[in-house]
Amino acid sequence: MSEKMDRRKQYTRMVLKDSLMQLLQTKTLASITIKEICELADINRSTFYAHYANQYELLTSIEEDFTIDLIQTLSQYNFAKEHEALQLTEKLFEFISANSGTCQILLGENSDIHFQKKGMEIAQEYVFKNWMNDQELDQETYEYLNLFIVSGCIYVIKQWLENGKKKSPVEMAGILLKFIKRGLDGMK
């Protein structure tokens, strides 16, 4: 009986998440109502509130699921050197490509900025941390450079997704790292 309840609970959360993601394609999070989510998911409001307090908490849950999957993917690799960053960046683009619909919605204008900030933290932690630490910069300059590079990377990814991923993940990783290297070389 417990397994049946767990499956039912998982199913309910899945349809709620799918419904919110569908609505985010055309509406801002602030303009989406619980009623709309429930109608699309074909569940009642009390069931929604048994799982989430509001649409913001539901979005946070979606973002956390995506982030956990991304971190698990990136954690499989231990690339600490500049030349190894290309391989990790390729894996990042492959993950984004495989999850492009979700990523595009979460990075889109109808979502919230929290996901982009979390993406910046992940990119800094897994892609640029060791590479940029090789630069001889004071802490404040390092923070500005990191913010500049990572936010630029996010917008490159957004543009790549919006343009239909015309270049492969390998090509995009090479382009992105070439931009970054040129920027870091300019800091010397």
Most confident of 20-24, 63-67, 133-137, 152-156: 20-24
93/66 same-domain check = yes
Determine the pLDDT at residue 21: 96
63/7 same-domain check = no
154/73 same-domain check = yes
Most confident of 2-16, 82-96, 152-166, 171-185: 152-166
17/78 same-domain check = no
pTM of the full predicted structure? 0.81
Q: Which long-range contacts (CB under 8 A, 24 or more apart) does 73-82 make?
A: 74/122, 74/126, 74/127, 75/126, 80/130, 80/131, 81/130, 81/131, 82/131, 82/134, 82/181
71/27 same-domain check = no
CATH number of residue 48's parent domain: 1.10.10
Determine the pLDDT at residue 120: 75
The Cα–Cα gap between 1 and 124 comes to 44
76/148 same-domain check = yes
Determine the pLDDT at residue 46: 96
37/106 same-domain check = no
Determine the pLDDT at residue 129: 60
Determine the pLDDT at residue 60: 93
Determine the pLDDT at residue 179: 83
94/29 same-domain check = no
Determine the pLDDT at residue 114: 79
Determine the pLDDT at residue 138: 77
The answer on pLDDT for 182 being more than 70 is: yes
Determine the pLDDT at residue 121: 78
86/158 same-domain check = yes
The answer on pLDDT for 76 being more than 90 is: no
CATH number of residue 89's parent domain: 1.10.357
For 138-164, what is each residue's pLDDT tens digit? Answer: 778 777 877 788 888 888 999 999 999
78/9 same-domain check = no
Region 23-42: mean pLDDT is 96
Count the domains in the chain: 2
Determine the pLDDT at residue 99: 94
47/64 same-domain check = no
For 87-142, what is each residue's pLDDT tens digit? Answer: 888 888 999 999 999 999 998 888 877 788 887 777 777 665 655 555 566 778 77
45/67 same-domain check = no
Domain containing 88: what range?
59-186
